[in-house]
């Protein structure tokens, strides 16, 4: 009898181990699916492509333009995140990553005042061909388009790397990695990931732009330069406070 019970216990333990392995494999595959949905599919990628070099005073306007783009993109993805979370009533929901991408293009090309009306129209019917300058490879590593790397300075390129790394970190964090195993949540996770990634993107460029301005504006009197330094320090404090609030919110979500 003891031998029979031992055999049954062994079989149950083996079955439970198999189920756990299948669950982990399902979650891992879901994460890869999310990452692949944002990946680049171009042949011009070369990890050793020549970059323009360190950012100089001549790049101030270009960095500002990239910062403005990241700031607007974060706000657009907040609207798309609300759409994916079904916060709008009687609206056709996104069914694929392409639906999210197409809506992003539509909103970024429209005034802020039209965003919610466009969201309520549901998925975009007239599809556009999308060109990405950065994404994640099949191995989940950040990759950038060659032409983008050749035409931008180091800080702009690094901001793109930070953006893509933020995607990867988001999906592999707890409890997001568990939610990725639920197919019903994949699109809302993708949209939330974009919000977080553009926020990291924006924060990095804000810091680099402020640092470069202080180096470049050498003819300012001390009082003006001090004002710039104080504005930079205040922005850093605000970013840190926002980060603490997000961490607190994530902790509350786990506990509940």
In the numeric block, the tokens 């990095």 are attached to: 204
Give the whole-number percent of the chain exceeding pLDDT 70. Answer: 65
At 140-179, the pLDDT tens digits run 788 888 899 999 999 999 999 999 999 989 888 766 655 5
Range of the domain at 76: 2-216
Residue 238 lies in a domain: no
Q: How many domains does the chain have?
A: 1
Give the model's pLDDT for residue 225.
Answer: 65
Residue 225 lies in a domain: no
Residue 100 lies in a domain: yes
Which structure tokens are listed for 95?
């069914």
Residue 250 lies in a domain: no
Residue 248 lies in a domain: no
Our CA dihedral for 160, 161, 166, 172, rounded to 10 degrees, sits at 140
Residue 240 lies in a domain: no
Residue 236 lies in a domain: no
Residue 57 lies in a domain: yes
Q: List C-alpha distances in Å: 198 to 58, 66, 92, 109, 138.
A: 24, 11, 26, 17, 21
At 29-54, the pLDDT tens digits run 444 445 544 543 333 444 444 457 99
Helix 154-171 to helix 186-216 angle (10° resolution) is: 150
Which structure tokens are listed for 45?
């990628």
């Amino acid at each position: 009898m003891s031998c029979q019970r031992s055999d049954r216990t062994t079989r149950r333990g083996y079955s439970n181990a198999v189920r756990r392995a299948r669950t982990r494999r399902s979650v891992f595959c879901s994460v890869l699916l999310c990452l692949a949905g944002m990946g680049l599919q171009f042949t011009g990628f070369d990890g050793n492509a020549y970059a323009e070099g360190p950012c100089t005073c001549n790049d101030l306007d270009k960095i500002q333009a990239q910062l403005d783009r990241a700031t607007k993109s974060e706000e657009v993805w907040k609207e798309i995140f609300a759409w994916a979370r079904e916060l709008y009533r009687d609206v056709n929901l996104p069914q694929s990553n392409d639906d999210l991408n197409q809506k992003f293009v539509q909103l970024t090309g429209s005034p802020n005042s039209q965003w919610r009306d466009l969201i309520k129209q549901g998925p975009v019917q007239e599809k556009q061909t999308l060109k990405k300058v950065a994404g994640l490879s099949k191995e989940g590593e950040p990759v950038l388009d060659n032409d983008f790397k050749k035409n931008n300075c180091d800080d702009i390129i690094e901001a793109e790397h930070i953006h893509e790394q933020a995607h990867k970190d988001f999906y592999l964090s707890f409890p997001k990695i568990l939610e990725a195993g639920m197919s019903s949540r994949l699109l809302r996770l993708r949209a939330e990931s974009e919000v977080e990634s553009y926020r990291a993107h924006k924060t990095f460029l804000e810091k680099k732009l402020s640092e470069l301005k202080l180096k470049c504006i050498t003819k300012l009197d001390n009082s003006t330069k001090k004002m710039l330094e104080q504005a930079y320090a205040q922005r850093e404090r605000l970013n840190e406070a926002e980060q603490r609030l997000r961490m607190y919110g994530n902790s509350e979500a786990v506990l509940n």
